[in-house]
Amino acid sequence: MTDIVMPQLGETVAEGTVAKWLKSVGDEVAKGEALFEVSTDKVDTEIPSPASGVLLSILVEEGRTVDVGTVLAVVGVPGEVATPPRDDSPPASEPASSTHSASSTARTPREESTLRLSPLIKRLLDEFDLVASDVVGTGPGGRITKEDIARTVAERDALNSSDGPKVSSPVVRRLMNERGLSEGDLEPTGPHGRLTRKDVESASLTRGDEVIPFSKIRRLTAEHMVRSKATSAHTLMVKEIDFESIEVVRRRHGAQFKESEGFSLTYLPFIAVATLRALTAFPHLNASVGDNELIVHHDLNLGVAVDLDSEGLVVPVIRRADSYGVRDMARSIRDVATRARHKGLSLDDLSHGTFTITNPGPFGTLLTGAVINQPQVAILATDGVTRKPVVVTSPHGEESIAIHSVGLVALTFDHRAVDGAYSARFLARLAEELQGDWSDALA
């Protein structure tokens, strides 16, 4: 038999949440086949099975947060019997009483502060207007289960008059007020006739509104964006770029590149390489803000924002990206974007970024003021490139009109870290790089 354990997801990660089991007990599983998903505060990652066989048992249910190294399941040969996990919770026939709650299983403040709560338990606590210290956990290690919450709510509601109004949490009351609903409009489905968030959302659907709860990645993206706007003094600066020299290379070598690499040659790897060259001359944009200090990073670790089918964003990092040429940069961007969309990133893939590029240009955008990826001090947005007339000056100073590929690049920078003049000079240097000679870029 082979124990399946919670993997180490990163250097500083000590625990993980089992987000989803991809196999059921009794299913055959092959070595290397995705077995379950682990959720962190940054990304959901599929974990492969370390052995072939049959999934004999699942010891940690979905939604549970456990320490790295905890046995989650057992894989073996058909007919083997998995050893059941040790269960420190009280027998099901001995429900915890209010007296028991206040004495032998009561948690101290120190124990409470270190208690890990799964996303499901956090949502239920919020739903029923509880804090963790209100509930005595009967799960392994004193962890709170959904049955513990149900029991606590039942005990509390028993103190209310059965003839009184339905009790709602502040969250539910706020939702009711926002949507113009009263208790008479709702059908309670919670314990003892209690109204829940789902009751409000279900009633809203009858009025023509569609309620779409934030997914985990959508919620985390939102929290990250709000935190960034509250932290950094966001300032936007834009530069027009003549991409014609790059366009010449793409037209000349694009077909051969796609045949050999399996994907198209876009503007993005050129922009990434040029940006990294410019950053070596303007290192204060490859930095983060500390305690009244600017921390300049000597490694150039490029983050590339990746859209997850409109569900949210992740920013995988290409380490020491300044050592890459255009072809290797294109391969690296393709690799991290593909792994991001197939849940193949580790926590380390999302760590230690020093500067970020976001690329809405393929959708034809004109100008994007991106939000800084904390704790960095700048982010570059690359918008749509179009064919348009430009003034061209010959070596002899004669001017003429030509059709070139032109687009905008937009730098959002933290005005705490640098001033406008520094950022303007960076953009001027970036324009020089992008408008220079790229004829040997794919050699």
What does pTM read for this prediction?
0.64
φ, ψ (nearest 5 deg) of residue 17:
-110, 130
Going 128 to 132 to 134 to 140, the CA torsion angle's sign is positive
Residues 6+ apart with CB under 8 A from 251: none
Catalytically active residues are 415, 419
> 240: which strand partners?
408
Residue 72 has pLDDT above 60, yes or no: yes
**Percent residues over pLDDT 90 in the chain:** 49
Place of tokens 């010891």: 59
For residue 144, what pLDDT band results from cuts at 50, 70 and 90? confident
Which structural domains are found in the chain, ordered by start?
2-76 (2.40.50.100), 98-205 (no CATH), 233-434 (3.30.559.10)
Residue 311 has pLDDT above 90, yes or no: no
Residue 96 has pLDDT above 70, yes or no: no
CA atoms within 13 A on the CB side of 300: 19
Mean pLDDT over each residue of the chain, to the nearest integer: 84
What local confidence, expressed as pLDDT, does residue 63 receive? Answer: 83
Q: Which has more confidence, 200 or 247?
A: 247
SS (H, E, C) the chain: CEEEECCCCCCCCCEEEEEEECCCCCCEECCCCEEEEEECCCCEEEEECCCCEEEEEECCCCCCEEECCCEEEEEECCCCCCCCCCCCCCCCCCCCCHHHHHCCCCCCHHHHHHCCCCHHHHHHHHHCCCCHHHCCCCCHHHCCCHHHHHHHHHHHHHCCCCCCCCCCCHHHHHHHHHCCCCHHHCCCCCHHHCCCHHHHHHHHHCCCCCCCCCCHHHHHHHHHHHHHHHHCCEEEEEEEEECHHHHHHHHHHHHHHHHHHCCCCCCHHHHHHHHHHHHHHCHHHCEEECCCCEEECCCCCEEECEECCCCCEECCEECCHHHCCHHHHHHHHHHHHHHHHCCCCCHHHHCCCCEEEECCHHHCCCCCCCCCCCCECEEEEEEEEEEEEEEEECCCCCEEEEEEEEEEEEEEEECCCCCHHHHHHHHHHHHHHHCCCCCCCCC
What local confidence, expressed as pLDDT, does residue 110 receive? Answer: 32
- Cβ neighbours of 282 (radius 10 Å): 18
What local confidence, expressed as pLDDT, does residue 102 receive? Answer: 34
Place of tokens 């348009």: 388
By the 8 A CB rule, do 57 and 80 touch?
no
By the 8 A CB rule, do 415 and 231 touch?
no
By the 8 A CB rule, do 278 and 434 touch?
no
What local confidence, expressed as pLDDT, does residue 355 receive? Answer: 98
- Cβ neighbours of 125 (radius 10 Å): 19
Question: Over the stretch 57-69, which tens digit does the pLDDT of each residue have?
Answer: 999 988 888 888 8
Q: Which has more confidence, 414 or 92?
A: 414
For residue 432, what pLDDT band results from cuts at 50, 70 and 90? very high
Q: Which has more confidence, 407 or 112?
A: 407
- The Cα 67–Cα 393 span in angstroms is 65
Taking residues 101-113, report their average pLDDT. 37
Question: Over the stretch 192-222, which tens digit does the pLDDT of each residue have?
Answer: 677 777 788 777 667 666 777 777 778 778 8
Q: Tell which residue, 413, 108, 157, has the closest CA to residue 286.
A: 413
What local confidence, expressed as pLDDT, does residue 89 receive? Answer: 38
- The Cα 75–Cα 15 span in angstroms is 22
